[in-house]
Amino acid sequence: MNQRKSGEKQIIRDVLIKPAGPDCNLACSYCFYLEKGAMFRESTIHRMTDNVLEALIRQAMGAAGEQVSFGWQGGEPTLMGVDFFQKVVDLQMRHGREQTVGNGLQTNGILIDQIWAGFLAHYQFLVGLSLDGPKHIHDQYRCTRGGSATWQKVFDAGKRLMDAGVATNALTVVNDYSSQFPDEIYEFHKSNGFVHMQFIPCVEIDPVNPKMAASFSVTSESFGAFLCRLFDLWLNDFKNEEPTTFIRFFDSLFYTYVGLTPPDCGLTKTCGNYVVVEHNGDVFSCDFFVEPECKLGNVLQDNIADLLNSDRQIRFGNIKTELPDACKSCPWLSKCYGGCPKDRIRDPQDDGLNHFCTAYKMFFKHADPHYRRMAKVWKQKNALSRAEETRQQIEQSGIKVMRNALCPCGSGEKFKKCCGSTLMAT
């Protein structure tokens, strides 16, 4: 399997930032990030300083090409307040060199009022709102520290955002409970205007018995059935061969059918294409590996582009290519490349194989004929020769050449205009 080589340079395209560290105003049962507080014991409240913010924006914009995406996550990034994000935008304008800047904010919605909604709309932030579906599904695990329900507040925040004209994605965790309700969740999101959806399968180690997965984790079989049903619902809503709802995993997978690099890192050959910056400036390899062993440096002492291209980050990225034997001979290898490495280690009972391997096999088998047909239609629309030319160009020089092609996600938008931001799970 192709590995990234030492010295192979990439430019900064995506930076994921945790301005309030792991701090959050909720305590969802399945959150993997709250426990990171143990890594930053110097204080109980974690907030990014102006120095760190300026260093990271100056460096990222200086090292980026024509486009750069900043993903603001946590914990809960809105704990920083609107003023902090006004500083973000001001610094981006000050340090930009006629670049296109995308800002994505991932939020639990609790603090989103009219002021927030107006700000996010004005500066065209793409918002990922953590909303697991209707009340009985969302409130199963997404609760306050005191155990109170949160659905009503989050749902109201979603309405507020959409009324203000903010592009809002629904981020939905698929767990042992929600996996039973694909129809209900999909219809709920669609009927409430959340036509952009992202589904994140949940698997975490059991905190009491580390030899097994936590009880809220979704089994591979359940997730496979969920994906297959969701796919049918999505396909059923196509009009004139175009999707009317947008599901990140389905859209990403489509890229692989037309010879393009998918935006979802779980589907790429190697990892390591972005970095995470914590509130204190520490830089890590990936959102799921904010761990001492994966610390690359700190923006106050190091340069973020050097850290992205460091041997340490390249070694991290290549871990994905160390596949179990089952993957090496798998007919679907070119679709999932063994999946996200964190899903290979969360449940010790998986013995190094991806926890969702069975789900992927079920889904790829189910969806493959449809993807082949859709790819044929897309290639005809975009002209095969141009797609091939573009693929070669993209391998050589990044995304900027794609201006004239339609985005493979089927939105009808120009490439990268609609899928340009990185939103991931917390």
Cβ proximity to ligand SF4: between 196 and 344 the closer is 344
Shortest Å distance, C-beta 267 to ligand SF4: 8
Helix, strand, coil shares, percent, the chain, to 5 = 45, 15, 40
- The answer to the question of residue 330 lying near ligand SF4 (CB under 6 A) is yes
b/e per residue 326-335 (b: at least 16 CB within 10 A): ebeebebeeb
- Binding ligand SF4 (rule: CB under 6 A), the pick from 327, 399, 402, 407 is 327
237 is catalytic: no
- The answer to the question of residue 340 lying near ligand SF4 (CB under 6 A) is yes
Among candidate residues 286, 205, 276, the one with its CA nearest the CA of residue 30: 205
Tell me the window of 126-134, 187-195, 306-314, 354-362 that interacts with ligand SF4 (CB under 6 A). 354-362
Interacting residues with ligand SF4 between 38 and 57 (CB under 6 A):
none
Among candidate residues 224, 43, 128, the one with its CA nearest the CA of residue 426: 128
Cβ proximity to ligand SF4: between 309 and 354 the closer is 354
- The answer to the question of residue 263 lying near ligand SF4 (CB under 6 A) is no
Interacting residues with ligand SF4 between 265 and 284 (CB under 6 A):
265-266, 271
DSSP E strands: which ranges in 108-215? 126-130, 167-174, 196-201
Question: Residue 317 and residue 340: Cα distance in Å, rounded?
Answer: 11
Catalytically annotated residue among 176, 282, 287, 347: 287
Cβ proximity to ligand SF4: between 71 and 266 the closer is 266
Interacting residues with ligand SF4 between 360 and 399 (CB under 6 A):
360-361
Shortest Å distance, C-beta 356 to ligand SF4: 7
CA dist 144 to 24, 26, 27, 134, 306, Å? 10, 4, 5, 17, 40
Residues 67, 420 contacting (CB under 8 angstroms): yes
Tokens for 142, please give them: 């997404």
Among candidate residues 359, 332, 349, 348, the one with its CA nearest the CA of residue 201: 359
Cβ proximity to ligand SF4: between 365 and 414 the closer is 365
Question: Residue 99 and residue 402: Cα distance in Å, rounded?
Answer: 16
Residues 69, 60 contacting (CB under 8 angstroms): no
- Binding ligand SF4 (rule: CB under 6 A), the pick from 133, 338, 408, 410 is 338
- Binding ligand SF4 (rule: CB under 6 A), the pick from 18, 248, 342, 346 is 342
DSSP letter at 344?
Answer: G
Shortest Å distance, C-beta 253 to ligand SF4: 12
Question: Residue 176 CB: number of other CB atoms within 10 A?
Answer: 18
- The answer to the question of residue 332 lying near ligand SF4 (CB under 6 A) is yes
Tell me the window of 117-125, 157-165, 290-298, 323-331 that interacts with ligand SF4 (CB under 6 A). 323-331
Size of the site for ligand SF4 (CB under 6 A): 21
Strand-pair partners of 126: 104, 167
Shortest Å distance, C-beta 61 to ligand SF4: 22
Tell me the window of 16-24, 195-203, 326-334, 404-412 that interacts with ligand SF4 (CB under 6 A). 326-334
Burial of 315: CB neighbours in 10 Å, binned 0-12, 13-18, 19+ = middle
Shortest Å distance, C-beta 415 to ligand SF4: 21
- Binding ligand SF4 (rule: CB under 6 A), the pick from 19, 74, 341, 420 is 341
Residues 398, 9 contacting (CB under 8 angstroms): no
Question: Residue 196 and residue 218: Cα distance in Å, rounded?
Answer: 22
Tell me the window of 71-79, 105-113, 147-155, 319-327 that interacts with ligand SF4 (CB under 6 A). 319-327
Q: Which helix (DSSP H) or strand (DSSP E) does residue 262 occupy?
A: none
Binding residues (CB under 6 A) for ligand SF4: these are 265-266, 271, 286, 288, 320, 326-327, 330, 332-333, 336, 338-342, 354, 357, 360-361
Residues with catalytic annotation? 287
